[in-house]
Structure 1
Amino acid sequence: MFGAHYKLERHSIGFALAIIVVASIGGLVEIAPLFTIDETVEEAPDMRVYTPLEQAGRDIYIREGCYACHSQMIRTLRDEVERYGPYSLAVESQYDHPMQWGSKRTGPDLARVGGKYSDEWHVAHLNNPRDVVPVSVMPAYSWLSRNTLDMSDFDLRLNALSKIGVPYSEEMIANAQADAYGQAMPNSDRAAGVVERYGEATNVRSFDGNPDRVTEMDALVAYLQVLGRLTDAAYRNDSEEALEE
């Protein structure tokens, strides 16, 4: 076998053609499933987009490198489902750019962390993880409570996402700054517009407990509290499978 390989290496054209054939096989295996993507991605008519505040929290999550220790993809393995909840569906990440799937888990998977803990717990955890999880190795992110959230470019962010398929309406884009402020300021005159544009299930409250200003902590907690809750497709799928069994 090695003799044949050595002979092939001495003929550059033949060797190049062999590489192309092998690479083509690998490419075909990766590309072919994309032609059936409409059949494999589940439907979720109740799926909603991230609000401007939640999207900003997602950007902060990526900026701070949270994805380096936390995945957002629950596998179909029994121990994962029992620990984290229904396994992740492709449709749940259709508005994620980039998606946060992965396998690195220094910390737990966060695909369904939304609503699992209170806002106060998340704030305490981010300010000093050891206050709520004594054995945690997670670094503290206390500056998020001190940083006022920059909302000046939210309309540009939403507009850019709309260009790649996220269904933000012109009204959502035009009111991006107002909606980000209103979601974290429930007593303001802008709060009603958030619910009108994003639905009754939208969380509207002071996430960091500080009603005087909107901080980066507000945005990150708002994002964490909606993970796994943009649609209930996974829970419907889980119930259907249970009935079939």
Structure 2
Amino acid sequence: MPLFNAHYNLEKKSILLVIGIIIAGSVGGLVEIAPLFTIDQTVETTPDMRVYTPLELAGRNIYIREGCYACHSQMIRTLRDDVERYGPYSLAAESQYDHPMLWGSKRTGPDIARLGGKYSDDWHLAHLNNPRDVVPSSIMPAYPWLAQTSLDMSTLGADLATLQKLGVPYTDDMIANATRDARAQTLPDSDDATGVTDRYGEATNMRPFTGLPTVTEADAVIAYLQILGQMTQVPYDTEPVGN
């Protein structure tokens, strides 16, 4: 076995063994890293992709804070059963503004990448307060305090500014009006509502998500859940093919 003999001899010479390990590791690293130099040419973008509004971003932060990502993935695979159950498979461009991404690999609960618009705001509020009220077999914990806690909007401008530095195309105008826009998104008849749609698009969900007199954490979470899968319409324009 000449090959095994060569390996045994290599193990006896530590310097050669180290060099061999470095070469092997370099080849693997090169295969993974080299494609990143052409990522701008290989990753497709969607023309209608938009950023999260301040209220939706606040809801996403609460979603992460409460650990919801541990049970719900946000990435529909190209497998046929995934597509038939959840909808069009996820595109990389849909996560381009996510920091961090929430693709996930564990599904104690269903994938929610296409959850937006599937249920009413009232359903989501009831589901957060006590999941068993709408899904009797659910093992999801209840989050009643979300509807009882006023949303802290004091850091939204800083949140948007940080994401801007990471490449998310938030404008200085969006950052300056973050707190006002978060409140106005739940008040579609207010004077500030027009500014929200001007900055984030006419498709922005403008309504009192919980109907409560103050903007709560539940408003933010529901606003976030209702936009999942709706940031771009490109996935719905192409018939997905499952494997």
Report the TM range for the smaller structure's normalisation: over 0.9
How far apart, in 2, do the equivalents of 1:130 and 1:159 lie? 39
Q: Write out aligned runs for 1:43-192 (5 A).
A: 43-192=45-194
How far apart, in 2, do the equivalents of 1:22 and 1:147 lie? 54
Aligned residues: 240
How far apart, in 2, do the equivalents of 1:133 and 1:102 lie? 23
Runs of 4+, deviation exceeding 6 Å: none
Q: Which runs of 5+ in 2 are unaligned?
A: none
Q: Which runs of 5+ in 1 are unaligned?
A: none
Q: What letter corresponds to residue 193 of structure 1 in structure 2?
A: G
CA distance 1:237–1:22, change in 2 (3 Å): farther
CA distance 1:10–1:139, change in 2 (3 Å): farther
* CA displacement at 1:30 relative to structure 2: 1.7
CA distance 1:9–1:138, change in 2 (3 Å): farther
**Alpha-carbon deviations, 1:17-54, whole Å to 9, x = none?**
22222222221222133233233322311111100000
SS of residue in 1 equivalent to 2:62: helix
Q: What letter corresponds to residue 220 of structure 2 in structure 1?
A: A
* CA displacement at 1:6 relative to structure 2: 5.0
**Is residue 197–residue 204 contact of structure 2 (8 Å, CA) maintained in 1?**
yes
CA distance 1:199–1:13, change in 2 (3 Å): same
**Is residue 73–residue 88 contact of structure 1 (8 Å, CA) maintained in 2?**
yes
Seq. identity, %: 68
**Alpha-carbon deviations, 1:212-235, whole Å to 9, x = none?**
100110001100100110111112
Q: CA RMSD in A?
A: 1.9
Q: What letter corresponds to residue 213 of structure 1 in structure 2?
A: T
Q: What letter corresponds to residue 81 of structure 2 in structure 1?
A: D
How far apart, in 2, do the equivalents of 1:34 and 1:129 lie? 42
How far apart, in 2, do the equivalents of 1:213 and 1:219 lie? 11
TM-score by length of 2: 0.92
Partner of 1:216: 217
Partner of 1:229: 230
**Alpha-carbon deviations, 1:152-197, whole Å to 9, x = none?**
1111110110111111111111000000000122233222211111
Q: Which stretch shifts more, 32-41 or 89-98?
A: 32-41
